Structure 1
């Protein structure tokens, strides 16, 4: 500006430089203004260089790219892998058993293989258990 006929004094030049600094230099600006000793432009420059080395660099911001379309699948990946969230293993399906008959007259005894009664109610089965010393607790005696 001196060549244009409008010279700056050192205080105005210092203020212009300090106001042009980014926010990361706010602590430096506050400390610089608190000191009472006047600094030359060369001293200000040296202080700014040392302060810049101490300021931590901000981490780079990463941007993820999203594309239209199906994208790609890894080998062996099924369509169900597209679901979001935690994947839970499915319980193995139990084979369907025949429904239990409600009436004893419809069922077959597992002891004598005859229809009309159940093993737990069969008198010969209870006698067999008593003879062999086994307990028949929880069974009905008929």
Structure 2
């Protein structure tokens, strides 16, 4: 009775693993032109290796069983065929439709995987050259976060290590610091770091740079700038729309107009003489005696009232 229980539990665990792999690979499907094969392959191998499934991709099937095969050989062959069939489904599930049609006809997961490697993988020398070029050419850009930049450089170092190209730790640190030299805020960090002459790992340097970014306010200022731009951009598209909210009059404009209307009119220069009362310092149209005589009916005007008349009044 113990054997069936173990078999059922193993089968259930296997289904769980395959289900997890499918959900994992669904987020990274292999494109039909193979442009993302390097990332796809790295993630797929990592997932398969974690679940002890990588051997079904990299190793060929064992020799087919015959009448002379031992029970152990039969069991090994049957397990391989079953696991390989599950991994084949995972591989096909992680491709675009154009690649799936040709992969379905292939019998094992190993054969499918090797076909993809032959079709899309780059030569080791090409991978090494591209990683080295990116490592020595990559520089941080204005407004870019320091963490993704440093992690990208560290990724290129790991790629070179995989191809047996070792770069000394001190050289990697110098290259990372030099890649930040376009941002003036990091120049002082580099000076202080070199003066202290600390021996740190790449992970420790990454942590120090992230902390320095925060202390210098680079991460905060970038966020504020984005928020300010978004705030200023509100309402820009309302002008181009067919309909918009009715504009309310500007209170500042109203206040300005009221202030301007309440301002006193220009008075005559101190040397000018009134042609009505012969007084000095005002004009006839502003003369209090003249306006009072008009109100009293002593002066009869021909034409518009004196407050609006720009010409000379005719006196009768």
Q: With structure 1 as the length reference, what TM-score do the two structures score? A: 0.47
Whichever of the two has the greater Rg, that structure is: 1
Q: Name the structure where helix makes up a greater proportion of residues.
A: 2
Q: With structure 2 as the length reference, what TM-score do the two structures score? A: 0.24
